[in-house]
Amino acid sequence: MDLAGKVAIVTGGAMGIGYAICEALAAQGASIVIADLKGGAAAADKLRAKGHKVAHVDADVSSEDDTQRMAIAALDAFGGIDVLVNNAAIYSSLSLKPFEQLTVADWRKMLDVNVIGQFLCCKAVLPTFKKQSSGRIISISSGVAFKGNPGMLHYVASKGAIVSMTRTLATELGEHGIQVNSVAPGFTLSDGVHNNPELASTVSGFSVRGRALKRDMLPADVVGAVTFFAGPHSAFITGQTLVVDGGAYYH
């Protein structure tokens, strides 16, 4: 129970990788705040049925008001914030297309959620983290940031931005005792991906062939890295991105 007494906010925590992260952090003793556009209440009920301490808040991470309300909800429910997992992102709804077919609207929507959303969530928890001179920010990037996968330029760029933000925030916030790290999963068969047959059929086989470990990646494969960065065994690690993809990219 390395996280006993800690409070963790997980954005996009109602399903897929986000829900798996909530389960893993709760199993380590953390109280969980699920922040998601929808499904948060049902996800929270599932975790409570297993005996975990959980709250939820309906939140759009691209809204500054919503992210501020998210932080307040965590403080109201559990009296503190110790861990922020920036997981919410646009991915599973993607349609693969050449970069010249992308529109400015496509770019703005992607950056609003995947990049500005993570910025706003970090900003929302910062006063609490500074006041207590501690805190863990764990942002979910992607292996595509290192491989440059085609057909999703705006998504790849957004995840590359997370790697750079992780480094800068770690440098800027280290004096306050705040650690900032990133986890970069490979292609993961999450709930959302299963609901997008084009994405699943196009990317899955290609991804497995490119891995040293020849199998599909599941949400449960991501959670070990996240719980490590959230817990006491990473107390002197910051500014790092850990690629978790079965050996498709050696970082």
Tell me whether residue 155 is one of the annotated catalytic residues.
yes
Convert the pLDDT of each residue in 64-122 to its tens digit: 999 999 999 999 999 999 999 999 999 877 888 999 999 999 999 999 999 999 999 99
Classify residue 169: in a domain, yes or no: yes
In a domain, 208, yes or no: yes
What's the number of domains the chain is made of?
1
Identify the pLDDT of residue 95.
Answer: 82
Residue 147, in any domain of the structure = yes
Residue 251 inside a domain? The answer is: no
pLDDT band per the 50, 70, 90 thresholds, residue 128: very high
Domain of residue 168: give its range. Answer: 7-244
56 located within any domain: yes
- Domain of 163, CATH number, reads 3.40.50.720
Cα–Cα distance, 15 to 33 (Å, whole number): 13
pLDDT digits 0-9 by tens, 187-242: 888 766 656 666 666 666 678 888 999 998 999 999 999 999 999 999 999 999 99
pTM: predicted TM-score of the whole model, two decimal places? 0.95
Q: What is the pLDDT of residues 148-177, one digit of tens each?
A: 989 999 999 999 999 999 999 999 999 999
Which residue in 91, 155, 249, 250 is the catalytic one?
155
Note whether residue 2 is domain-resident: no
